Amino acid sequence: GAGVSQSPSNKVTEKGKDVELRCDPISGHTALYWYRQSLGQGLEFLIYFQGNSAPDKSGLPSDRFSAERTGGSVSTLTIQRTQQEDSAVYLCASSPRGASGGGEQYFGPGTRLTVT
């Protein structure tokens, strides 16, 4: 079956512009995670969605970052007024049950964001 897909695969934007990154999770997966991975660094948690519950936004680095998940499926991560330090690979993962349910994560290929 289809895995997690993300678009675009690469995005180059000018400092100060807004960007939207999209994630299509595996059908039926109730949990969806966004992570950021800067060059040579580990995974940094950004935000988590579980079903219809309020999202866990504790990892968002600033109020320029926001995300939504429509209809419990597709998710969009929006970065407003991008800064050069936002340059990173943004990874999405979905899970049938989430961490507390012992579920595995299935990662998308990521979106490489470059802010010039």
Partner 1 sequence: KNEVEQSPQNLTAQEGEFITINCSYSVGISALHWLQQHPGGGIVSLFMLSSGKKKHGRLIATINIQEKHSSLHITASHPRDSAVYICAVSPLSNTGNQFYFGTGTSLTVIP
Q: How far apart are CA 26 and CA 90, in angstroms?
A: 17
Closest distance to partner 1 from the beta carbon of 16 (Å): 28
Residue 111 near residue 90, CB atoms below 8 Å: yes
Only segment of 14-22, 63-71, 77-85, 97-105 that touches partner 1 (CB under 8 A):
97-105
- Give dist(CA 61, CA 86) in Å, integer: 10
Minimum distance of partner 1 from residue 87's CB (angstroms): 15
Judged by CB under 8 A, does residue 102 bind partner 1? yes
C-beta closer to partner 1: residue 16 or 51: 51
